[in-house]
């Protein structure tokens, strides 16, 4: 499958402080109580993963997403269960050619490939993610059937009807043109193929007239390289407008045990050594270390700014989750018509 892709040449990865400053410039018109839309959503996402990837891998592992959790289940166990569950819902199996849309460093790709036996091609517009992900794929010994390539999911460089299935895990939130990206995914799918995944969405509780709601929406957009966050209804409408048959669509946040909501990992309630970097205490320690390390020239310039950005995003996620106005777990399952 890799040979069917036109491998796009990317620029040299910018220094950390340069990436942060370029990213902030894209959001320069953001308003604290209004929309915080970047001038170029694709460019914003590319820059964002230039500077957050190492932070994410330290605190999150290789699966950059959330999941509904069961009581007593660890955060990382919930991620793996969610990935396997998505594979099962889509009936992925050996021999299938599958597209992972916005694959990150390939954590879900590798888990789903191991669980299903399918051949998976991941795409991302960030060269650093491609390098990290393919190194992981090689280490796991699955490079014969899995790969990550540099590509824009708005213009997937393959012919029509190439894939047997496609999925996206909290990835297409990085574009404000849902119809366009869903239409492109539909194009590369074979007739009758399934497209499933999870999307970051505003819930029915979001009130655009409420300044606190707008403030939180803005914090999430700037903190996670998002354009205008869609509502659940807008995502469903976009899938239909792109020509998909929507088989299922619902907010998976309600599948969590009440004691372990999706944002628990950011609250400091998971008192384990592995969870410490995601907690408020861990984030405070990171803030102190990054400030001191940068001042002593032990860490590159821009480290503190990245830490502060991610801390604000984490606080916004928790508050938005507690208010019930946002969910990263809006599940959808759609099918390309057979004719």
| 94-118 per-position pLDDT tens digit | 999 999 999 999 999 999 999 999 9
- Assigned domain for 259 exists: no
Q: What are phi and psi of 164, to 5 degrees?
A: -85, -20
Global pTM reads 0.87
CATH at residue 45:
3.40.50.150
- Assigned domain for 125 exists: yes
pLDDT confidence tier of residue 46, bands split at 50, 70 and 90: confident
Question: What does the mean pLDDT of the chain come to?
Answer: 86
- Assigned domain for 167 exists: yes
Residue whose C-alpha is closest to residue 125's, from 27, 221, 8:
8
Strands 245-251 and 189-202, bridge-based pairing: unpaired
Statement: residue 207 has pLDDT above 50: yes
> What's the average model confidence in pLDDT over 75-84?
95
- Assigned domain for 302 exists: no
- Assigned domain for 173 exists: yes
- Assigned domain for 32 exists: no
Q: What's the Cα-to-Cα distance from 109 to each of 11, 99, 120, 243, 307, rounded to whole Å? A: 25, 9, 7, 26, 27
Neighbours of 44 (CB within 10 A): 24
- Assigned domain for 50 exists: yes
Q: What's the Cα-to-Cα distance from 223 to each of 56, 122, 312, rounded to whole Å? A: 13, 24, 7
Q: How many domains does the chain have?
A: 1
C-beta separation of 175 from 37 below 8 A: no
Statement: residue 144 has pLDDT above 90: yes
> What's the average model confidence in pLDDT over 11-40?
65
- Structural domain boundaries, residue 138: 13-23+40-201+227-254+327-335
- Assigned domain for 219 exists: no
């Amino acid at each position: 499958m890799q040979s069917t892709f036109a491998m796009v040449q990317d620029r040299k990865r910018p220094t950390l402080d340069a990436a942060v400053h370029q990213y902030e410039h894209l959001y320069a018109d953001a308003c604290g109580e209004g929309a915080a839309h970047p001038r170029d959503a694709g460019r914003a996402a590319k820059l964002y993963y230039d500077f957050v990837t190492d932070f994410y891998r330290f605190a999150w592992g290789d699966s950059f997403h959330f999941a509904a959790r069961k009581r007593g289940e660890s955060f990382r166990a919930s991620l793996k269960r969610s990935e396997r569950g998505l594979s099962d819902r889509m009936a992925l199996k050996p021999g299938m050619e599958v597209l992972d849309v916005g694959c990150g460093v390939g954590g879900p790709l590798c888990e789903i490939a191991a669980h299903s036996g399918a051949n998976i091609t991941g795409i991302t517009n960030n060269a650093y993610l491609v390098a990290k992900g393919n190194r992981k794929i090689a280490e796991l010994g699955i490079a014969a059937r899995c790969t990550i390539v540099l590509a824009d999911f708005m213009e997937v460089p393959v012919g029509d009807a190439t894939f047997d299935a496609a999925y996206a895990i909290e990835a297409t939130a990085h574009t404000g043109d849902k119809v366009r990206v869903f239409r492109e995914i539909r194009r590369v799918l074979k007739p009758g193929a399934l497209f499933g995944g999870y999307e970051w969405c505003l819930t029915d509780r979001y009130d655009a007239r409420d300044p606190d709601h707008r403030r939180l929406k803005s914090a999430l957009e700037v903190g996670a390289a998002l354009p205008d966050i869609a509502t659940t209804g807008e995502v469903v409408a976009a899938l239909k407008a792109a020509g998909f048959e929507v088989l299922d669509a619902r907010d998976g946040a309600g599948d969590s045990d009440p004691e372990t909501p999706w944002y628990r990992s950011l609250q400091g309630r998971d008192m384990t050594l592995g969870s410490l970097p995601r907690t408020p205490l861990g984030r405070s320690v990171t803030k102190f270390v990054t400030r001191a390390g940068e001042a002593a020239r032990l860490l590159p310039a821009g480290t503190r700014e990245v830490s502060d950005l991610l801390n604000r995003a984490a606080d916004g996620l928790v508050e938005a989750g507690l208010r019930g106005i946002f969910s990263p777990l809006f599940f959808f399952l759609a099918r390309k018509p057979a004719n």
